[in-house]
Structure 1
Amino acid sequence: MDLVKHTGGCHCGAVRFEVLSSPDLHVFQCNCSICTKKQNHHFIVPNNHFSLLQGSDYLITYTFNTHVAKHTFCKTCGVQSFYTPRSNPDGYGVAPHCLDPGTVRSVTVETFCGEKWEESMQAHKSIRDMSKPEADAQLKNTQ
């Protein structure tokens, strides 16, 4: 699987990032309390495939419940371009709608039942592996 460099950022432009991922995105639509409120759709990448280019001083973080997920927002415009998901604290959940145009070929959306988070995580066969550097090779073998 070929990886492409996607760039993106928040609405006001203070926060900018780049991420290496497939041009064919596997996006999660979660129905947990916070994802429902902010309509958080995201794809997961390993930590080493994400680079914050600018704006670290514009980011604020919100946590709740287990405090594992780190919901980062631009303090100027309020947009969450990426965050650290509870399911994958060793990676990033990136908002596909915050990517610059031109590098995404397709988007597949998978619903995830965050209302029953523990049960859903136990049942899901690959979500935890998506933030592992080896995930690219594993994805290649399944496509």
Structure 2
Amino acid sequence: MTDLVKHTGGCHCGAVKFEALAPRDVKVFDCNCSICTMKQNKHFIVNESNFKILRGEDNLTCYTFNTKQAKHTFCKTCGVQSFYTPRSNQNGKGIAIHCVDKGTIDNITIMRFDGQNWEESLAADLENIRKLSAPTQNT
């Protein structure tokens, strides 16, 4: 089992703050779907049980489109999406790598995901995506 560390982060204005348990070496998805491209949404996925909103839940709003499965949450004040619920993993959170506070990530590996061909790419990468979000804290 991979040792997990507590990563903290949040939005630009500080109204939204979160913590997430994940490895020090993270695998970041770089998706080329329409919304990820426009937002430059490079993210790593954690199990929902390894994610906690510390403050600002009442300051979040949500955008959905197309299948309405992905929940693109963002700060009502500054507009930054520091995390979201990915379509590929409804029991996980996609953490925006650029919104994580400095000091807890040692290494970032970029993994390309062909979101323009979402269904085919997911079918090919589903096991890998689930493995990357599967680690839980040792008790």
- TM-score bucket of the superposed structures, by smaller chain: over 0.9
TM-score by length of 1: 0.91
User: C-alpha deviations, 1:84-138, integer Å up to 9, x for none?
Assistant: 000001100001110111100000000100000000001113113434xxx227x
1:48 corresponds in structure 2 to: 49
TM-score by length of 2: 0.93
Q: Tell me, which stretches of 5 or more residues in structure 1 are unaligned? A: 138-143
Distance 2:105 2:131 in 1: 22
2:15 corresponds in structure 1 to: 14
| Contact 1:63/1:70, CA 8 A, preserved across alignment | yes
| Contact 1:5/1:103, CA 8 A, preserved across alignment | yes
| Contact 1:25/1:43, CA 8 A, preserved across alignment | yes
2:30 corresponds in structure 1 to: 29
| 3-state secondary structure, aligned to 1:126 | helix
Distance 2:130 2:68 in 1: 18
1:102 corresponds in structure 2 to: 103
1:114 corresponds in structure 2 to: 115
Distance 1:104 1:128 in 2: 20
| Contact 1:46/1:130, CA 8 A, preserved across alignment | no
Distance 2:71 2:15 in 1: 19
1:127 corresponds, among 115, 126, 129, to 129
Count of residues in correspondence between the two structures: 134
**After TM superposition, where is structure 1 displaced by more than 6 Å over at least 4 residues in a row?**
none
The share of aligned pairs that are identical, in percent, is 63
Distance 1:87 1:129 in 2: 12
1:63 is displaced (CA, Å) by 0.2
| 3-state secondary structure, aligned to 1:36 | helix
